[in-house]
Amino acid sequence: MADTTTSTAPSSSSASTSTSSAAAISRDTSGDAASSSNSSQLRENEDQTQTQNEHQHRFRGHEIERQQVGHVPFHRGDLSGFDDSSTVIRDDTWSCVIVLLTFWFFVSMTLILGVYGSVNLLLGPNCSLLLEPNPIFVQYIKVEELNDSGPGPVLYGFYKAPDLDTVTTWSETRNTTVQVDSHEEWAYLLNAGSQINISYSVVSPGSSVFLIIAEGNDGLSQWLEDPTYPNTTLSWNLISGSGMITQDIYVSSSYYVAVGNLNTEEVEVHLSLRVKAYLYNTTEAYYKCTFADGMCGLNVLFPNGNAAVLTSPSAEQGKTSDELYVRLSYGPRWATYIVGIGGMTVLMLFAFNYLNKFQCVREEGRYVPYGDIGSERAPLLSFKDDDLSSWGSSYDSVSHDEDDIEDFLALASLEGKSQGDGENTNNTRRLCAICFDAPRDCFFLPCGHCVACFECATRIAEAAGTCPVCRRTMKKVRKIFTV
């Protein structure tokens, strides 16, 4: 019995020893498995971290390039934006030049045909008309006599305007019969300081007529529109019987003496005019033309200019003077108009060339010269350069914390793992929205959108692009690993 017990004890000892060895082996095996699993996970994490560091380094490099785009000049191959800007500026330049030429053309026509255009003048007796054209636009003066009525006018030339200090007195008689609803008028050219005295006599008994003195054609036209209105003329008088009126002249111009009849029968009127006239002194004239050939001309000196005086003969005492018509015209100085057009065009081109060199455009809060603009495709949506621009938007429903986004997308990928590869390939909603070839296996930070494969997302990030969904600036690209 003792031997049996003794022999059994070693067997139990050996069994326990073998059991302990097996347990040790089992622990070692499980420990090795756990160690290998941990090492593989560490290597995977290291690879992922290295990949993220590489993308972060690339993205930082692109951010630095974008920040320095306003300071680093572009290469010759990136000058398409400059060419487009230059083309636009050249088009604007020629458009402005055309507008300028059109404006100058109308100004020239206004001066040639309007201000210094031909005009017919009715000269009264003892008139003295001063002509002072602008020497920049006028080259010569030409006066042509339109009717041959005995002694003609005289044209004088002066280096400067003569004095208005010659006084003369002349008179004439006007006997006329004014028809019903009609009028008679006589024109006189008078200078400032002159005076008109009119003695009248209405022969028809019981009849009254209008006697007026009007300044210029405008004053006469206003009176003809409403003869009964007294404030349209220089002097308005309703006369009957006999009497006299006197009118002083304050402005050198043409004046009309007119008689109007609004009666139902014609009226006979006798007028005796006595005029005290101031004339220009012609004793210092260097040029004199008597219209022997019916025409006289005077060159206008450049650039100081000169003056001309046109005079008419005096009326015989107490007699009616004959009407004297002349045509006054000015010759344009074509060199002024040509030089003006050329000079204004050159100035306009120089101004646009100056603006073309120094004009700047505002881009993303900084000014970039036109010559430094490179060609790039503008996004359809505006840039969102900072996260502050999206505060309060729907993107706040997804956490900006990277770990939360990774957990959220990893859970979504695990939920879709049950679907087969063929089903994933055919389902376009899970394909890359850029190439439509590879599955969506990455997401953007900070927005968290998952719409592209890792290769396409990397290319977008390297190009310093934005998220195709929300157009927010991409900070990072993270790959989704399915296990």
Record: fold of 119-334: Jelly Rolls (2.60.120)
Q: What is the pLDDT at residue 205?
A: 84
CATH topology of domain 44-75+382-479: Herpes Virus-1 (3.30.40)
What is the separation of C-alpha 470 from the centre of its chain, rounded to a whole number of angstroms?
38
pLDDT tens digits for range 129-180:
999 999 999 999 999 988 876 678 999 999 999 999 999 999 999 999 999 9
Q: Which of 160-169, 206-215, 422-431, 465-474 has the lowest mean pLDDT?
A: 422-431
H helix runs in 68-186, sequence order:
80-109
Q: Helix (H, G, I), strand (E, B), or coil: what is residue 29?
A: helix
**Angle at 424 (CA atoms; ends 421, 430), nearest 5 degrees:** 150
What is the average per-residue pLDDT within 250-262?
93
- For the chain, counts of helices (H) and of strands (E): 7, 20
pLDDT at 368: 44
Strand, helix or coil at 157? Answer: strand
When pLDDT is averaged across residues 73-79 and rounded to a whole number, the result is 41
- 46's tokens: 């290291």
Does the structure show a pLDDT above 80 at 417? no
**Residue carrying structure tokens 């070692």:** 28
> Which pLDDT belongs to residue 54?
54
Q: Which element (helix H / strand E) includes 340?
A: helix 334-358
- DSSP letter at 234? S
More confident call, 143 vs 343: 143
Tokens of 193: 């300081």
pLDDT at position 391 is: 40
pLDDT tens profile 320-342: 566 788 999 999 999 998 888 88
Is it the case that residue 254 has pLDDT exceeding 80? Answer: yes
Token duo for residue 310? 């046109």
Helix (H/G/I), strand (E/B), else coil: 88: helix
The pLDDT of residue 472 is 85
Does residue 435 have a pLDDT over 80? yes
DSSP letter (8 states) at residue 286: S
Kindly provide the residue ranges of all beta strands, DSSP E only, lying in 124-234, ordered along the sequence. 128-131, 138-145, 154-158, 166-178, 182-190, 195-202, 209-215
3-state helix/strand/coil string of 350-393 = HHHHHHHHHCEEEECCEEEEHHHCCCCCCCCCCCECCHHHHCCC
More confident residue, 340 or 405: 340
List of residues 6+ apart from 469 with CB closer than 8 A: 447, 449, 451
Residue 247 CA to residue 275 CA, distance in Å, equals: 10
Average pLDDT over residues 23-49: 47
Q: What is the pTM of this model?
A: 0.55
Mean model confidence pLDDT for the chain = 74
**Beta bridge partners of residue 174, listed in sequence order:** 271
Q: 233-251 pLDDT, tens per residue?
A: 889 999 999 999 999 999 9
Cα 232 from Cα 353, distance rounded (Å): 56
Q: Where are the domains of the chain?
A: 44-75+382-479, 80-105+340-372, 119-334
Q: Residues 434, 441: contact at Cβ < 8 Å?
A: no
